[in-house]
Structure 1
Amino acid sequence: MLGREEASSGRRFSGGLGAVLATTLALWVFSLLRMPWTLLGWVALVPWLVVVDRARSSREALLLGAGLSVTFSAAVLGWFPGALQSYSGAPLWLCWLLMLLLAPVFQLQFPVTALARQLARRAVGNRAGWLPPMVSVLVYVGVEWLAPKPFADTLGQGFVYSERLRQFADVAGAPGLTLALLFVNECVFAMGRAFRTRGAPGALKPLVAAVALVVVMLGYGSFRLAQYVVERSTQTALVVGAVQANIINYEKLKAEHGTYEVVRMILDTHYALSDSLLREAPLDVLIWPETVYPTPFGVPKSEAGAELDAEISAYVAARNVPLIFGSYDVEGGKEFNAAMFLSPGDKEGEAPTRKVYRKSKLFPLTEWVPELIDSPGLREWLPWTGRWSPGSGPRTVLLKRRDGRILRVAPLICYDTLFPSYVADEATATADLLLTLSNDSWFGGTPGPRLHLTHAVFRSIETRRPQVRVTNSGVSALIDDTGEILTEIGDGQRGTAVMRVPWHTAGYFLARRWGNWLGPVALVMAVALLGGAVLGGRGERY
């Protein structure tokens, strides 16, 4: 008897591991964002759902979820340990170990979904067969909103290059696409189970539901694209000059050549690239990337710093073109990662006016350490931790264009872009443009810059605002309000681009009004459904 139990346990373990690996492989191929492999997303979770439904206990379900979180992180986010090692100098093995140990926390949706599904099945038994799948879908989306995901990744982002499907993001953002993908996976799973028990007629209902959802989403996307095409031709363009100098690893350069010489080289390079842009076209605005001027602007720390500040202002005045660039700002002993907005004076010889946006969403540890855990000991142990303070929050900046008209900019710096609700608060009804300054050089040569660009695409769709994205080393891009990338300077390239920005035309919808509303709504619905089922099951037993 013991031998049979051991053999059965071995088979269950092998089956569970095989299903986890099959789903991981399918999700990895899906994450490559290349047709026709993107279609795997619609069925990728089915092997995992099969073994989760066969779990005999909550513990087994949790293990299946935690296992998928680990393998998913290793396969889809396997580029991150190398980037972390490059930034921190920690051993690569330690970076991998930390990522894998934290995977069940950062990809919390997998273990919690498996557990909730198992509890729902136990509560309803053979009744209300629709409940476990419904709870699973809602829990997955809700927990993703709640979990501390450093890159805010979600499966729905895999449809970023589907011109029609991605338009649904103005309803519920990328999580809305995730919900649709999960629903179709559940329908495919239900089709297989129904076919085994009732034959082809039994599989018809879930098939119709899956096809109907996809058709509705495609139809909505076609409708939104048609709106944009009809109205776009009447819109005038904003002409932006973007500079991507591909100068990276400032700290190493400073150690080798000295701070002043490095800043001097950075500025001279950007002046030369900017002048070539100004010869190419009359620009309304000139834009340099995040922290391109790696010292405080307007509050210099030295006489040399004051001279460089004056030089940048003189450049703006001499070219008579507004300049937006990344720098630092200082106030009350605190230092901020900031975007500087310089506009030429109204009169000849008048100094440019300066406005500042301070980055509010800082990457944990590398840019900012919470006061609760900040200490000299931590700084000594992790010398690469950041010292910036978060800004005060969303704001719209008014910038005078070269022709004198006012441009209303919703500025974002790097990590700000990952937060849909934050961007929605910035992109008020009066904002003309989303502007992102970023430095993705630490992730160069990995999928990281492309993932960051994907977030930017969804923010433009959700708010129905065009976006100019300028980075140190790529990917710089012009994105219209349908998510189309009109201009791009690739990762690891030096280049400039004249970006002709079409004004926004497509009216915004729920994602612009409420930000990431689907996550909390899904979580509340899941708790209500699961709680009702559990309590109802207990009531029947008594």
Structure 2
Amino acid sequence: MADMTMTHRPIDRSKLFLSLLSGVLMTAAFPRTGWLWVAWMALIPLLLALRDISVKDGFRLGWLCGLIHALGLLYWLSHTMSTYGHLPIYLTIGILLLFSTYIGLYTAIFSTLIIYLGRTPMRALLIAPLLWAALEYLRSFLLSGFTWGYLGHSQYAWLTLIQSSDLWGVYGLSALIVLFNMALFFLILSRTGKTWQGLSIPRPLAWRGTLLAILCLSSTLIYGYVRLGQIERLSAEAPHLTAGLAQGNIPQAEKWDPAFQIASTKQYIKLSGQLGPQKPDLIVWPETATPFYLFHNQALTRMVQRGVQNAGSAHIIGSPAVRKSDDGIAYFNSAYLLDPQGNPLARYDKAHLVPFGEYVPFKKWLPFLGKIVAQVGDFHAGPPGGILEYDGHRIGPLICYDGIFPNLARAAVNNGADLLVNLTNDAWYGRTSAPYQHLVQYVFRAVETRRSLIRATNTGISGFIHPTGRIENTTRLFESAARIQPVACLKTRSLYVRVGDTFARVCLAVVVGLGLLQRFRRKS
């Protein structure tokens, strides 16, 4: 049993530095730095700072680590809000700090509970991965959810490793990375003679932890190697659809200016025309590619329809939509499916809206905040899992923010989608790391669901993602471009599609159960 009378050390400069260092290292594992190997040791400095301090001080150091990581990962929010939300820079920095403070709370809770629940080294080793996965799961839905920058996402380029996402989503990868950090940490403590919460680390225990981490990593890689071969074979044998995409590269400052409506529309028609001679089955335009209400502005709609007819292919076109009823006017961020003659076949409405971008939550209490998209009223959300059907294929659209939520891609596949399509406008982010971080999300949607994914963006990065997570035929940022290639349309349903976030929920249940048990024991 841990020595409950041990003297905890106060927070000093070395502990502050170690917490800051962990925050920086975690950020370095993500694009654009992209040192994915750093994630496997990024938590060790924080753990060294936590090893002999109190629960309360653990919260403080964990929050500092999480804050620094969030600021490094999400710095681009300030640029976006000041440029397109027209907020003063001091206010955008304040909002960034507020949001990063919220994200940092999850690392603070991790640090608190790893001390509270993991009083012995073995408990800490086993609880830490479950705790981290549980907290990431909570972040996926609390306050509307924000799944950006999970620890497992940093490994998107290690294809063999990420294949296990079709079992347990990104949460299993995050847990594995944390387990590896914990094993290395206790190995360091054992070799240096340092303690964890007053307890020494016997070498046999440290080596058992290391072997456990190596065994879990090896098993994941073996599964990934086998699964890669299986999915490659299934993809080669599956029906294929020849798909094209158009990246118009319309500057955000011009996108909603009525003076540029015709020029913007002609740009996309031109790109579809370039693809036409190659006879694609489907061409995808990005989110709000038409800077007007398609099928409401008759002149511009006819221009688009003639462009579709000339290209001779079905199109999925991002456009704002409006619906009038007795209850008033409802606006939607939508994707229209048009047949090769330009006739509308179906429409998908974005299901998960961006807070402060497409609607303003808490208007009553935050009246000074406006939307980034100021040209329309608040958008309304559509139902999740919507499908566009064409030529025997069921296509699952994901419009921008939709795509960072695995449940929406799963809902589409459970509704029969054999292909995923992402329509996005990342012009908001400029040349920051955000477009690269956003692309990473769709690697995981492809692997989790075992579906090909077509990604059409306004300014990049557009391209195709194979069901194994391989990124193919991409565009550069801020170029006008068209791409075309065959994509496999798989029908298989992965375990993750069938059971969803069961692994993460089990982790949460175990952590809650251990917390209640620990509280009961302390009272007893």
TM-score scaled to structure 2, two decimals? Answer: 0.89
Q: After superposition, what is the alpha-carbon deviation per residue over 1:366-407, rounded to whole angstroms, capped at 9, x for unaligned? A: 11124xx335x95665364661111122222102xxxxx322
Alignment match, 2:339:
343
Distance 2:351 2:298 in 1: 26
Alignment match, 1:533:
518
Q: Cα offset for 1:98?
A: 2.2
Alignment match, 1:390:
381
Q: Cα offset for 1:38?
A: 2.2
Distance 1:192 1:14 in 2: 21
What amino acid sits opposite 2:353 in the alignment?
Answer: L
Q: Cα offset for 1:458?
A: 0.2
Residue from 437, 458, 468 that aligns with 1:472: 458
Q: After superposition, what is the alpha-carbon deviation per residue over 1:80-103, rounded to whole angstroms, capped at 9, x for unaligned? A: 322222221223333223222332
Task: Please tell me whether residue 454 in structure 1 is matched to residue 440 in structure 2.
Answer: yes
Q: Cα offset for 1:277?
A: 1.2
- Note the residue ranges of structure 2 that are not aligned, 5 or more in a row: 1-7, 194-199
Task: Please tell me whether residue 115 in structure 1 is matched to residue 112 in structure 2.
Answer: yes
Task: Please tell me whether residue 102 in structure 1 is matched to residue 99 in structure 2.
Answer: yes
Distance 1:237 1:381 in 2: 46
Alignment match, 2:304:
312
Q: Cα offset for 1:360?
A: 1.0
Contact 1:113 1:140 (C-alpha < 8 Å) held by counterparts: yes
Larger Rg computed on CA atoms: 1
Alignment match, 1:191:
187
- Note the residue ranges of structure 1 that are not aligned, 5 or more in a row: 1-7, 346-350, 400-404
SS at match of 2:508: helix
Q: Cα offset for 1:202?
A: 4.7
Distance 2:126 2:271 in 1: 54
Q: After superposition, what is the alpha-carbon deviation per residue over 1:498-539, rounded to whole angstroms, capped at 9, x for unaligned? A: 12212327x443321133333332211101012112312432
Alignment match, 1:439:
425
Q: After superposition, what is the alpha-carbon deviation per residue over 1:195-244, rounded to whole angstroms, capped at 9, x for unaligned? A: 32567545321121111111111101001011123333334431112110
Alignment match, 1:207:
210
Task: Please tell me whether residue 414 in structure 1 is matched to residue 387 in structure 2.
Answer: no
Structure 2 CA distance for partners of 1:500 and 1:210, relative to 1, 3 Å: same
Contact 1:170 1:512 (C-alpha < 8 Å) held by counterparts: yes
Q: Cα offset for 1:467?
A: 0.4
What amino acid sits opposite 1:374 in the alignment?
Answer: K
Distance 1:423 1:198 in 2: 44
Contact 2:275 2:311 (C-alpha < 8 Å) held by counterparts: no
Alignment match, 2:505:
520
More divergent stretch after superposition (424-433 vs 269-278):
424-433
Contact 1:135 1:529 (C-alpha < 8 Å) held by counterparts: no
SS at match of 1:488: coil
Q: After superposition, what is the alpha-carbon deviation per residue over 1:473-521, rounded to whole angstroms, capped at 9, x for unaligned? A: 001110010000121012212111012212327x443321133333332
What amino acid sits opposite 2:17 in the alignment?
Answer: G
Alignment match, 2:197:
none
Task: Please tell me whether residue 358 in structure 1 is matched to residue 356 in structure 2.
Answer: no
Distance 1:337 1:34 in 2: 32
What amino acid sits opposite 2:262 in the alignment?
Answer: R
Alignment match, 1:504:
490
Task: Please tell me whether residue 249 in structure 1 is matched to residue 275 in structure 2.
Answer: no
Q: After superposition, what is the alpha-carbon deviation per residue over 1:42-93, rounded to whole angstroms, capped at 9, x for unaligned? A: 111011112223112x321111111112211222322332222222122333
Q: Cα offset for 1:447?
A: 1.1
What amino acid sits opposite 1:115 in the alignment?
Answer: T
Residue from 98, 116, 122 that aligns with 1:130: 122
Contact 1:106 1:150 (C-alpha < 8 Å) held by counterparts: no
Identical residues among aligned pairs (%):
24
Distance 2:255 2:149 in 1: 32
Alignment match, 2:5:
none
Alignment match, 2:81:
84
Alignment match, 1:229:
232
Task: Please tell me whether residue 167 in structure 1 is matched to residue 163 in structure 2.
Answer: yes
TM-score scaled to structure 1, two decimals? Answer: 0.86
What amino acid sits opposite 1:105 in the alignment?
Answer: Y
Task: Please tell me whether residue 328 in structure 1 is matched to residue 317 in structure 2.
Answer: no
Distance 1:254 1:340 in 2: 19
SS at match of 1:233: helix
Alignment match, 1:24:
23
Residue from 264, 270, 278 that aligns with 2:276: 278
Contact 1:156 1:174 (C-alpha < 8 Å) held by counterparts: yes
Distance 2:407 2:147 in 1: 15
Contact 1:114 1:136 (C-alpha < 8 Å) held by counterparts: no
Contact 1:253 1:262 (C-alpha < 8 Å) held by counterparts: yes
More divergent stretch after superposition (519-528 vs 416-425):
519-528
Q: After superposition, what is the alpha-carbon deviation per residue over 1:291-320, rounded to whole angstroms, capped at 9, x for unaligned? A: 01122222x1xxxx2122123223333443
Q: After superposition, what is the alpha-carbon deviation per residue over 1:112-141, rounded to whole angstroms, capped at 9, x for unaligned? A: 1111122224xxx5xx54223433332222
SS at match of 1:188: helix
Structure 2 CA distance for partners of 1:262 and 1:211, relative to 1, 3 Å: same
Q: Cα offset for 1:25?
A: 2.8
Alignment match, 1:52:
50
Task: Please tell me whether residue 219 in structure 1 is matched to residue 222 in structure 2.
Answer: yes
Contact 1:396 1:409 (C-alpha < 8 Å) held by counterparts: yes
Contact 2:121 2:201 (C-alpha < 8 Å) held by counterparts: no
RMSD of aligned residue pairs (Cα, Å) = 2.3
SS at match of 1:108: helix
Task: Please tell me whether residue 463 in structure 1 is matched to residue 462 in structure 2.
Answer: no
Distance 1:76 1:343 in 2: 41
